[in-house]
Amino acid sequence: MKDLLLIKDLVIHFETDDGIVEAVNNITLGIKEGQTLGLVGETGAGKTTLAKGIMRLIHKPTGKIKDGEILYKDKDLLKLTEKEMREIRGKHISMIFQDPMTSLNPVMTVGEQIGEVIKAHNRISKKGIEKRTCEMLETVGIPSGRAIEYPHQFSGGMKQRVIIAIALACEPNLLIADEPTTALDVTIQAQVLEMMKSLKTEFNTSMLLITHDLGVVAQNCDFVAIIYAGEIVEYGELRDIFKNPKHPYTIGLFGSIPNLNDNVKRLKPIDGLMPDPMSLPKGCKFNDRCKFAMDICKEKNPEMVLLNNGHKVKCFLMQNNI
């Protein structure tokens, strides 16, 4: 299947007064049409920066996309003018933000906010906008009568539904969901995810689901990419990653969540912390936390190794296996 969005060698740096923050380093990643890619990583791994990079919403003037290409339908988003990019945002690619509490404009009614996106991207009458707004609200399970209410009158889960309605109002081809359920409690989380899943099938949308919750990934994704210190360390189909993780970091991630079937006294978290993105270690970024680290890991940054079935790993251990 063809890639809807293909990121090639993307490098994003933040040039602050204290030094250069290397947030995203040489990421190459593809999202196929109609599929969901899960992007998993710790806090500060560069997940959100990558998402904002795709939307070209990196904070200026410190943040800079230094290198690479973002091909959407074979068009490089990084070469578009700001005006052309605005056309893409909301209509072709839209984004759901982490915290529903702060992602809605507090002084506009919910209906206006949904209507605004529709108005920005379609030439339809006021009546048409209203009708579509009500439809969207009903789609996400909110009675359309509530369109005249303000965000502070909604609960967190309902706000996230509104945000999803805004994101899907123009039926985008790609939806970037940046930890859409992190701020919600578990029962609401399940509802929202269930809804996103069914809407995704309804609108045939591709999705980039950013999360640090492997459970969420298991339920929703077709492909998984593991990101560490701004690099993709492992990529593959959901089944391959969950059944047969290869990268020591991925193995460590699975070791740090409880398993119902195993009888273990203690979980095995990964020792140490993510390296400071302002001074990344030489060689493999994971070498100082890795149990299997060899001499070469401290010297050279490993290349991506293709195993079977599109399963890719960035580790010297795998190179030796071949």
Partner 1 sequence: MSNNEFVNKGATKNSGEGRTLWEEIRRRFKKNKFAVVSMYFLIFLIALAIVTIVIDIVDNSNIYNNYVIKQNLKDKLREPEFGNPSMIFGCDEFGRSILFRMIWGTRYSLFIGLIAVTVSLITGGLIGSIAGYYGGKIDNTIMRFMDILLAIPYMLLAIAIVSALGPSLINLLISIAIPKIPSYARIVRASVMSIKDLEFIEAGKSAGASDIRTIFKYILPNAMAPVIVQATLGVADAIISISALSYLGLGVQPPLPEWGAMLSAAKTYIRDAWHITVIPGLGIMFTILALNIFGDGLRDALDPKLQH
Q: Kindly report the number of other CB atoms within 10 A of residue 292's CB atom.
A: 12
> Crossing angle, helix 186-203 and helix 156-168, to 10 degrees?
10
First-to-last alpha carbon distance for the chain, in angstroms, is: 27
Mask: binding to partner 1, 101-140, rule CB under 8 A, as x and -? -xxxxxxxx------xx--xx-------------------
Determine the interface stretch with partner 1 among 87-95, 126-134, 234-242, 310-318 (rule: CB under 8 A): 87-95
> What's the gap between Cα 307 and its chain centre?
24
Residues 6 or more apart whose CB falls under 8 angstroms from that of 229 comprise 25, 45, 46, 274, 275, 277, 280, 285, 286
Piece in contact with partner 1 (CB under 8 A), picked from 73-81, 150-158, 200-208, 296-304: 150-158
Q: Which of 3, 149, 213, 288 binds partner 1 (CB under 8 A)?
A: 149
**Which C-beta is closer to partner 1: that of 12 or that of 318?**
12
Question: Rule CB under 8 A: is residue 152 a binding residue for partner 1?
Answer: yes
> Binders of partner 1 among 188-207, rule CB under 8 A?
191, 194-195
The answer to whether residue 181 forms part of the interface with partner 1 (CB under 8 A) is: no
Residue 51 CB, nearest approach to partner 1 (Å): 9
Q: Does 64 bind partner 1 (CB under 8 A)?
A: no
Shortest Cβ distance from residue 304 to partner 1 (Å)? 30
- Report how far residue 198's alpha carbon sits from residue 282's, in angstroms, rounded to the nearest whole number: 44
Q: Give 161 or 289: the residue with its C-beta nearer to partner 1.
A: 161
Q: What is the DSSP letter of 227?
A: E
Minimum CB separation of residue 198 from partner 1 in Å reads 10
Instruction: Please give the structure tokens belonging to residue 286.
Output: 């994971």
DSSP H or E segment with residue 112: helix 110-121
Taking the complex as a whole, the smallest distance from the CB of residue 81 to partner 1 amounts, in Å, to 12
258 binds partner 1 (CB under 8 A): no
Question: Which range of residues in 33-41, 155-163, 237-245, 287-295 is near partner 1 by CB under 8 A?
Answer: 155-163
Least separation in angstroms between residue 99's CB and partner 1 is 6
How many residues bind partner 1 (CB under 8 A)? The answer is 46
Q: Which residues contact 213 (CB under 8 A, 6 or more apart)?
A: 181, 182
- Find the DSSP H helices in 141-283: 156-168, 186-203, 214-220, 238-243, 248-255
Nearby residues of 10 by Cβ (< 8 Å), 6 or more positions away: 24, 26, 27, 28, 50, 53, 65, 67, 68, 69, 70
Which of 34, 69, 150, 293 binds partner 1 (CB under 8 A)? It is 150
Considering only 6, 55, 134, 217, the residue that binds partner 1 (CB under 8 A) is: 55
CA–CA distances in Å: residue 133 to residues 90, 140, 192, 217, 314: 15, 11, 19, 30, 45
The residues binding partner 1 (CB under 8 A) are: 52, 55, 57, 61, 86-91, 94-95, 97-99, 102-109, 116-117, 120-121, 141-143, 145-146, 148-150, 152-155, 158, 163, 166-167, 191, 194-195
